[in-house]
Amino acid sequence: MTPAAPTAPAPSGPALTTSALTKRYGGNVALDAVDVTVPRGSVYGLVGPNGAGKTTLLSILAGLRSPTAGEVDLGVDPRRIAVVPDTPNFEPWMTGREVVGLSLHLTAPELPAERVVQALERAGIADAADRRIGGYSRGMLQRLGLAAAVVGDPDLLILDEPTSALDPAGRRDVLDFVSASRGQATVLFSSHILGDVQEVSDTVGILRDGRLLFEGPLDELLVGRAAPAYAVRVRGGATQIAVRLRAADWVSSVDTPSQDLLRVTVTSVAAAEAQLVGALAEAGATVVSLVPVQSSLEHVFLELTS
Amino acid sequence: MTLWRMEIARLLRTRRIVALGFVYLFFGFVGPLTARYMEQIIARFGGGMAVDVPPPTPADGILQFASNAQQIGLLVVLVVAAGALAFDARPEIGLFLRTRVRSVARLLAPRYVVTTVAAGVAFVLGTLAAWYETAVLIGPLPAGRMIAGMAYGVLYLAFAVAVVALATAVMRGRLAAVAVAIIALLTLPILGLLPAVEPWLPSRLVGAQVALAAGDAPADYVRAAIVSVLASAALLAVSTVLLRRRET
């Protein structure tokens, strides 16, 4: 496979695809034949543990590194890709307004200057726009990085670990920003904070040791991977109820985190819906609540990467 | 804000223009003063040692300026140049620029030109100060040869900044780039020990200002000037290629 530069943009189809993308640093394989497809207009969450190859993959897609082998096929104009690193930083003697203005000048000089103010406001950094960046906090730098990225109205926004090392309020703001970008641009962001990915992504890619273990819609990942389970809160006697439930052939397992709580994993949702309530009654349980357990990305991620 | 305005702002806001101007103007004013009153200085601070100092010539005034300008002044220029040219020294800033400007030459040009112009202007101002003070304290200098000396000095600074550009393409860090540039610039005078090579080397321009003030002909330095211009262009071209290939 020949390493290839990004090709000409396609009018429709995915925002980007990669074919057998491979990157080696000496004998170390950072990416191993990765095939990624980022649907146009999606918020694509790339998850993986530290060292999985996320930053390497994003750097190649941004044109900052060359693949050892494989191809990148961009469905967007390479000039309309904006990248925000995990720790954005700028010349400390510049003001925030100047950085965003420079970004606009370099990426979309045809757009009106008002876009600078709009981008600063959208990122929530307008109040500090005329302060020198040397005095910015980490969260403010992150917001400034986002403002500088969106000011040129990009088609593809690449964010590398945008919420890492932010306090809860800053993390919330960034996630809201990503959610608000849906429909305006395709967003590809990496994270090892699975809750963030689950909250804002509609498509997920799971990377480990340079290999793509899963890629697809988040719903498909969560529904297809985990066995159905129910959390049953009772008025005591959970251990005895669990013994009775385990005897049923449609019950896979029963955990009792406390005497008031059971976690019942079943072989099928249909069987549980037909028989779980009756089985609880037969076991003498006084049921306070019964809710299906939502499978989380964290469970699936651990299942896939363990 | 444009890349050109950014470089001008860097010089002004980080006080680098002050450092450049101060170092050249300081030696421009102090150099001829030292030459004029050398005998009194030695008598005052020489511990009673009696030294017979010949009367200073106008070339001595320029020599005192140039000897400091070519060492401390050049060092300041190299540091200022590395601060501007090493845009990959901080990876996040390199990423900001490289993902927005695909042409490395477009990034390099304002940094090289603004730094060279600033260094050249500081050097010329320092020389004018030394020239004026020498004329007042010691005696007149040949105007034509002084102007030629300034031109050759500026050409050498342009070459030195181009060396820094290449150094930043080889080394990411600013200090490392300055060190590489110093080593490269110190290597040239060693090559100049070969008589056949010396007239062609950019390092020949280092002594041009003093030699011209003392009576050398400007034509003696034309070959070195031409090589300096060509070498600067070649260094910048190689820097562009290396920086384009660099992965961030």
Give me the tens of pLDDT residue by residue for chain B, a chain 248 residues long.
Answer: 899 999 999 999 999 999 999 999 999 998 888 888 877 777 777 666 666 778 888 888 889 899 888 889 999 999 999 999 998 888 889 989 998 888 899 999 999 999 999 999 999 999 999 999 999 988 888 999 999 999 999 999 999 999 999 999 999 999 999 999 999 999 988 888 888 888 899 999 988 888 888 888 888 899 999 999 999 999 999 999 999 988 87
Name the CATH architecture for the domain at A16-222: 3-Layer(aba) Sandwich (3.40)
| CA neighbor of A73 nearest in space, from A145, A130, A20, A132 | A20
Whether A93 sits inside 8 A of B13 (CB atoms) is yes
Strand, helix or coil at A290? strand
Residues A183-207: what's their mean pLDDT? 85
Check whether A121 has a pLDDT greater than 80: yes
Cα separation values, A267 from A241, A245, A273, A282, B243, Å: 18, 13, 11, 20, 59
Q: Please give the pLDDT value at position A2.
A: 40
Confidence of residue A228 (pLDDT cuts 50, 70, 90): confident
B203-238: per-residue pLDDT in tens? 999 888 888 888 888 888 999 999 999 999 999 999
Q: Length of chain B in residues, anyone?
A: 248
What residue spans define the domains of chain A? 16-222, 226-295
Least confident segment among A17-26, A209-218, B129-138: A209-218
Rounded to a whole number, what is the distance in angstroms from the first to the last CA of chain B?
Answer: 24
Q: Please give the pLDDT value at position B35.
A: 81
Q: What is the reported pTM?
A: 0.80
Q: Which residues numbered 39-98 in A keep a CB inside 8 Å of some CB on B? A: 59, 62-66, 78-79, 81-83, 85, 87-91, 93-94, 98
Exposure b/e, A85-114, CB count within 10 A at least 16 = b? bbebbbbebbbbbbbbbbbbbbbbeeeeee
Q: Please give the pLDDT value at position B22.
A: 94
Rounded to whole angstroms, the Cα distance separating A40 from A19 reads 17
Whether A90 sits inside 8 A of B96 (CB atoms) is yes
Give A99→chain B minimum CA distance, Å: 8
Q: Name which of A57, A61, A102 to mutate to probe chain B: the one with the most chain B Cβ atoms within 10 A of its Cβ.
A: A102
Residue range A226-295 forms a domain whose CATH class is alpha beta
Q: Please give the pLDDT value at position A220.
A: 72
The residues, ordered by sequence, that sit 6+ positions from A279 with a Cβ below 8 Å of its Cβ are: A244, A245, A248, A251
Least confident segment among A10-14, A78-82, A190-194, B240-244: A10-14
- Looking at this predicted complex, what is its ipTM? 0.84
**A188, A159 contact by CB (below 8 A):** yes
Nearest CA in chain B to A157: B99
Check whether A221 has a pLDDT greater than 90: no
Q: Please give the pLDDT value at position A222.
A: 67
Residue B193: both structure tokens together: 């020990």
% of chain A surpassing 90 pLDDT: 37
